[in-house]
Structure 1
Amino acid sequence: MSKKRKSSRHVKSHSSKRLSQSNKNDEKYSQVENMALGFFYTADAPLSFAQLYSNFSQARYSEDDIRAALDTLLQAGLIVKDSKNHYKLHKNTSLYEGTLTLHPKGFGFVSVTKSPVNRPLKRDPFISPGQMGEAHHGDTVLIRVFRIRADDRPESSVVKVLVPGTNRIGGIFRTEGRNRLVYPDDRRFPFTVRIKDADGLQPKNGDAVIAQFDRATGAANFLPGKIIEILGAADDVDSQMRLVIEQFNLPWQFSDEIIAETAGLDESFMPEQDREDLRTTNHITIDGESAQDFDDAICVIKTRNGFRLFVSIADVSHFVAPGSAIDREAYNRGTSVYFPGRVIPMLPEKLSNNLCSLVPGEDRFTVSAILDFDRLGTLLAKRFSRSIICSRQRFTYTTVQKILIDKDPVLRKEHKAFLTGLKWAEELATALQDRRKKRGSIDFNLVEAEFTLAKSGKIESISRAERNFAHQIIEEFMLAANEAVAEFFTRQQIPAIYRVHEPPELIKAEEFFDFIKTLGLPVAPFVNTPAWFAGVLEKCKETKYEYIINNLLLRSMQQAQYSANNVGHFGLAATDYTHFTSPIRRYPDLIVHRQLLQLLQKSPPRKLSLTEAAEFLSARERTAVMAERDMNDRLKIGYMQHRIGETFEAIISGVTENALYVEIQDMCISGSIPAELLGDDYFLYDKKNYRLFGEISAKTYQIGDLVQVTVVDVDILSKKILFALAPTFMQ
């Protein structure tokens, strides 16, 4: 790295130091002011100076400190004095309650849950490390907003911890000399736990453990605590899963009440009078090899005008009554969480893998969408019913691909009875896909990792997951059913829960377009429509930029979510869309089933705040996605720590001033290459073209380029992989 770069960093370090020293006294008084505000906020009545002073008995502040703080608060208009010389908060004081989310770098944001009626905030308040006080990640805090930035981001300080968050963490146990330490696995807890008591537990050095800490005592960086559970070797899949459960606070065990309620469920499948008998239709399921819960079955029949599609979904609502213990827990979980080889189910196993699972050869209760299409995939008619089916066959995606596309003679002979139905399914799915593309639906080509687990619980291999046309068949049919149900709700003009996807923010969309132009791809002038984005993906197919463009486009999009307000689905170019097809693993689908059946049976609607439910379930979904992503990253880290020194082909997926970010596409494993490891040169950052440019060598490294990289280091605690360019590639 050049001397020039080092020098600029050196100056920055000294300027930060001078700033912290100059604000030392201000920070002191800021703390005592905040403590006083906290006392006023929680007091039932105005406080005299003597009452306030007694509240400070445990704090090391003098009487002069407290009087000075009161004067400052009075002058700022944050508190007022009444006729009896008692103090209380001013009615317009900008104090807010919320949950603190800490960043590993020490700053944080607060998700506000209670605010002054006349002062709502547009964005989550930011808290710098110096304004954090004694708050920890996950605490419910009272904050004081002291500035609103030009971008509408409030800056604030923690006034008081109202409700402490967790006092337990997952972490890695280490012995260092005489010290027995637990380093938090979740880097948002910026301290180390010094173990004083293990209650007879004897973890091995490097084991994953659960520790309990005492936040009331100890230094800022070291808190005393004890080990309450040994999880086992840190690189074991189950150990890592438990660490993820702790980090994201995932409910993963069912209570005795739920177990008892599940055991008492009626296991008979005697069709009621109003349940349509579809057991004579050739319903089949098509899922992955490792699937255990089968919540959707399909059947396609050719008609005079085109096709009739049956999409029959497990009738979870038959077994899970609103307000029951099972129902409350399912709502609280919101969704099943899937890890490689493991799952945290939304419903107890007796339901998810048995009573609600559409296993072959067994009668099962379902809710069916029966859709008629012409030969071009245009929907002609639809109806819905409570039904009962008996799945004829369980197929896997691989088997269907070999039958339909590869024309495997052995499998075609073995499944001769299903060949015609599968052929019709292929024809209808092709028509539906073509029609969806014509309206502008965006089809991402995203790569996902597939993990192979050994019996020992270790990762045996990581490869690129393969998708085939059998996946597309099921996807098209599920999309069609979801749209049909949503359209039915819209036409009936009843409150419903939708799956919505808003258009991308214009700034992000234009930034994406600017990037596309730097690649020289012949794309149409930018229009913020699904069809334009779909056209870009079509143009980049089978080019070296396909992977990068798909991923960058995904990042520029807004997240899909649940909503009671139907604003359409931008990515699918659909005016009406919901989630109907997976009630075993998604609670919103169960809500949709109940709404649909209420319409069909003309029963009074259930009292439920759809807006509140949509917001809560969207949040639960985001948590599940983050947990699944985090688990995958952990397993990749554990796998790569045994491959230090090996060389792989990778693609440059990102560029910053100080590093290249690369991904091994065959394994979907990402890491970084610091600029100083790019060779003996000074590299300039060309932000416009997403590249680093060698000042001496003129060597360029641009996003989308393929490079050979060598694994240099793997940091398990920070979950980072460090690469260097392979020596042969640099020559």
Structure 2
Amino acid sequence: MPSKEEVLSFIQSEEYEPIKIHGIAEKFGLDNKEEKKLEKTIEQLIKQGYVVKDQRNKNRIVRAEEKGIFRGVYSASEDKYGFVVIDGDDENKIFIEGNNKNNAIHNDLVVVRIIEDAEDEDQKDSGEIIRILDRGLKEVIGTFEKKRNFGVVIPDDKRIHRNIRVEKNRFGKATDGDRVVCNILKNNNDYENDNNLDGNIKEIIGKKGDRDLEIKVMLRENNLSGEFSPFVIRDAKKIEAPIEEDFKNRLDLRKLNIFTIDGEESKDLDDAISIEKLENGNYKLGVHIADVAHYVKEGSRIDEEALKRGTSIYLVDRVIPMIIEDISNGVCSLNPNEDKLTLSVIMELDLNGNVVDYEIKESIINSKLRTSYNDVSDILEKEDEYLSEKYRDFIDDFRNAEKLMKILKEKRKKRGAISLGGEKMKISLDDNGKPISLDVEDRRVAEEIIEEFMIITNEVVAEHFYNLKVPFVYRVHENPDKENIDYFSEFAARFGYDLDSSKDILEQREELNNILKESERKKDSCIIKSMVLRTLEKARYSDECIGHFGISNMYYCHFTSPIRRYADLLNHRIIKETINGEMDENRKEHFKQIVGDIAEKLSEKEKTAEYVEREVFDYYKTLYMHNKLDEEFIGIITNVTYGGIFVELSNKVTGRVKVGELSDGKYELDEDKLCLRGITSGKVYSVGDEIKVKVSETSKNIRKVDLKISRENREITK
């Protein structure tokens, strides 16, 4: 008797032609009794949306997709519509109006039937959900409200259009207004007729009014914690500052003019620099990195926790550290006037930025100065007299660093490294954690110095260990996908930019840079930058050295931040064992077995960290914009969707004008021309248009800013 999987595989094979169940039974050589069992198997496949019975053709068994029936996951919007995503392919989806979702909720596994074909290839087929196979929702984070005889949890996620009912005996210790985690109870499998969602309180995240409540919720949503276990805390307290015994066989650099440049509030100082001009005109650059691997031993509980976290997460007003603060801010931090263990890369560079000589050594340093990006930039950009006097012993170092930075920057530019500009946003909070200012700042010269010095160091280290053929964690960035480049070429052409997607990859990179540079002078700069980022692949970690498209170098790694990135810490271990003669075949095999898997995990950890950092930033931006209700802004339309118009305001906050807010009739989406067009009004809202809007509403829970079109806004018709 064939299994369900074998039957399905037969039906889905290319040579299969629709036949009755009896014909399938014959194909498998089944007797009458076995054919009855086959009928039950087929019924299961029908219920699960894999096959259908063709009633017009004598109950033949047909692949479901041939009759316009598909399995997929329902992805709801905040409004009443949604999409069924087929086979996890976000491009392959079916549009579902609210009255066709048949009780489905966000993330349900469903069977959908197409009821109306798209009129053109830029639109989506419309469908109705005919069966719910499984609830995708397992738990919900939301606000608990206590009623007389029961309670409800109102989901934070506005795509979940139903509250969860909680009986009294499932409250736990939750009280009215608490933010909670609620498990969804599975009452039955008749989801289409199940109008209730029932749950029980699993966890209380925080109380209403807590200053940090929203941050706690975001961390909980992503299974992150700022707390360390008692075991890690205890082990960290046993680690002591270096003693004379630790200095043996290290290059002693304590007499050098070594200094750190960081943000004013930084506490985990993991990189220091030294620089001098040689008699031959070259520069001698030393980059000295905290030797975290000396203290955090492979396989220790501190190490296991660091690997679990993968990276430090930098939020607006706090850090979720990878390594416990006793180490990251204490014994490893390169604080001034303290002897510290480091790994140093000392390079000689000529006036073209070429590395003519280098050495990689375990070392000991004593930083002579802790300074900030702003102070050094004020000296170099503004010749600030007070600061110049304060740092008079380092002025020559700062100026030499600036000169070398410009050489390295120009060299990278000539080889075609992608430059997305140095603009960044900064939010300032008051003593109560409320945002009081939102500023757009350019990257200043001191930040460029450190960036260029760290890049060249990472390049030197990566190439050195690639040539040694030892296992290593590389930072890689694949060439953009051909389809993405083709799409960007078409997209950019609408804004008057030219990129020939038929050219080789080096010429394409040069053209991307030219487009980015040209767009800086135009209002559509934010759109072009965003599309370039979407066109490029995501940089990641790998045990294979396959090159870095963005930096335009075959060799790149992360070496310079072992306090906050595990990839750097793992590379430090490999480096130390190699330069100390301990990298025998057994250790090579050990690292070979682990680096690939770790690299893949770290890439995922990095994505999570970036997402949370962005979400927290968006939360504070939304909180800031709450004080701007009914205030007018000039913005640029950056995207149009079925749901509305996305506008980037002059302060770089993005909000949405919902389609329902457009009061002059229905609008249709023209994806090809990137616009929403009024069916009766003829009004057109296109990507790249300048538009005047007002802030109408904010929602801090979902980090959204809603806008409305200002009455004074000029009519846009095309």
Query: SS at the partner of 1:174?
Result: strand
- 1:307-337 Cα distance to aligned partner (Å, 9 max, x none): 0111111111011000000111111111111
Query: SS at the partner of 2:207?
Result: strand
Contact 2:476 2:545 in 1 (8 A): yes
For 1:586 and 1:334, locate their aligned partners in 2 and report how far apart those are by CA, in whole Å. Answer: 6
Contact 2:291 2:341 in 1 (8 A): yes
State yes or no: 1:583 paired with 2:568.
no
Query: SS at the partner of 2:268?
Result: coil
Contact 1:526 1:532 in 2 (8 A): no
For 1:75 and 1:712, locate their aligned partners in 2 and report how far apart those are by CA, in whole Å. Answer: 48
State yes or no: 1:226 paired with 2:227.
no
- 1:280-305 Cα distance to aligned partner (Å, 9 max, x none): 11111111222221111111111124
Query: Which residue is 1:170 aligned to?
Result: 141
Equivalences for 1:126-525 in 2 at 5 Å? 169-175=140-146, 180-186=151-157, 192-195=163-166, 196=168, 197-204=170-177, 207=178, 209-213=179-183, 215-217=185-187, 221-226=196-201, 228-229=203-204, 231-233=206-208, 238-270=212-244, 271-303=246-278, 304-445=280-421, 447-521=423-497
Query: Which residue is 1:609 aligned to?
Result: 594
Query: Which residue is 2:24 aligned to?
Result: none
Distance 1:501 1:665, change over 3 A: farther
Query: Which residue is 1:713 aligned to?
Result: 697
Query: Which residue is 1:662 aligned to?
Result: 647
- 1:526-566 Cα distance to aligned partner (Å, 9 max, x none): 63342221222122232222222111101111100001111
* Identical positions, percent: 31
Contact 2:475 2:558 in 1 (8 A): yes
With the length of structure 2 as denominator, give the TM-score of the two structures. Answer: 0.77
Q: How many residues align?
A: 624
For 2:410 and 2:688, locate their aligned partners in 1 and report how far apart those are by CA, in whole Å. Answer: 29
Distance 1:665 1:367, change over 3 A: farther
Query: SS at the partner of 2:247?
Result: coil
- 1:251-296 Cα distance to aligned partner (Å, 9 max, x none): 4321111111111113234343221111111111111222221111
For 2:205 and 2:406, locate their aligned partners in 1 and report how far apart those are by CA, in whole Å. Answer: 52
Distance 1:430 1:158, change over 3 A: farther
For 1:182 and 1:337, locate their aligned partners in 2 and report how far apart those are by CA, in whole Å. Answer: 29
Distance 1:267 1:453, change over 3 A: same
For 1:134 and 1:673, locate their aligned partners in 2 and report how far apart those are by CA, in whole Å. Answer: 26
* Cα displacement (A) at 1:445: 2.0
For 1:620 and 1:720, locate their aligned partners in 2 and report how far apart those are by CA, in whole Å. Answer: 25
For 1:556 and 1:572, locate their aligned partners in 2 and report how far apart those are by CA, in whole Å. Answer: 16
For 2:187 and 2:666, locate their aligned partners in 1 and report how far apart those are by CA, in whole Å. Answer: 49
Query: SS at the partner of 1:202?
Result: coil
* Cα displacement (A) at 1:216: 4.2
Distance 1:110 1:268, change over 3 A: farther
For 1:652 and 1:160, locate their aligned partners in 2 and report how far apart those are by CA, in whole Å. Answer: 38
Query: Which residue is 2:686 aligned to?
Result: 702
Query: SS at the partner of 2:288?
Result: strand
Distance 1:132 1:433, change over 3 A: farther
Q: Residue 603 of structure 2 aligns to which amino acid in structure 1?
A: S
Query: SS at the partner of 1:641?
Result: helix
Distance 1:108 1:71, change over 3 A: closer
For 1:183 and 1:446, locate their aligned partners in 2 and report how far apart those are by CA, in whole Å. Answer: 41
* Cα displacement (A) at 1:382: 1.5
* Cα displacement (A) at 1:342: 1.4
For 2:642 and 2:87, locate their aligned partners in 1 and report how far apart those are by CA, in whole Å. Answer: 32
* Cα displacement (A) at 1:423: 0.3
Query: Which residue is 1:558 aligned to?
Result: 537
Query: SS at the partner of 2:439?
Result: strand
Query: SS at the partner of 1:327?
Result: helix
Distance 1:545 1:107, change over 3 A: closer
Q: Residue 284 of structure 1 aligns to which amino acid in structure 2?
A: F
- 1:579-601 Cα distance to aligned partner (Å, 9 max, x none): 01111111011111111112211
For 1:688 and 1:126, locate their aligned partners in 2 and report how far apart those are by CA, in whole Å. Answer: 17
* Cα displacement (A) at 1:504: 1.1
Query: Which residue is 1:149 aligned to?
Result: none
Contact 1:297 1:312 in 2 (8 A): yes
Unaligned runs of 5+ in 1: 1-32, 38-64, 77-99, 113-121, 145-156
For 1:393 and 1:327, locate their aligned partners in 2 and report how far apart those are by CA, in whole Å. Answer: 30
* Cα displacement (A) at 1:350: 0.3
RMSD: 4.1
For 2:241 and 2:83, locate their aligned partners in 1 and report how far apart those are by CA, in whole Å. Answer: 53
- 1:668-702 Cα distance to aligned partner (Å, 9 max, x none): 32111234545647766554443445678776543
For 2:605 and 2:102, locate their aligned partners in 1 and report how far apart those are by CA, in whole Å. Answer: 27
Q: Residue 210 of structure 1 aligns to which amino acid in structure 2?
A: V
Distance 1:559 1:75, change over 3 A: closer
* Cα displacement (A) at 1:493: 1.9
* Cα displacement (A) at 1:717: 4.6
Contact 2:74 2:104 in 1 (8 A): no
For 2:610 and 2:656, locate their aligned partners in 1 and report how far apart those are by CA, in whole Å. Answer: 23
Contact 2:315 2:613 in 1 (8 A): yes
Distance 1:297 1:656, change over 3 A: same
Q: Residue 252 of structure 1 aligns to which amino acid in structure 2?
A: G
For 1:214 and 1:280, locate their aligned partners in 2 and report how far apart those are by CA, in whole Å. Answer: 64
Contact 1:661 1:670 in 2 (8 A): yes
Distance 1:203 1:369, change over 3 A: farther
- 1:434-487 Cα distance to aligned partner (Å, 9 max, x none): 000000000102644322122212223322244211111111001001101111
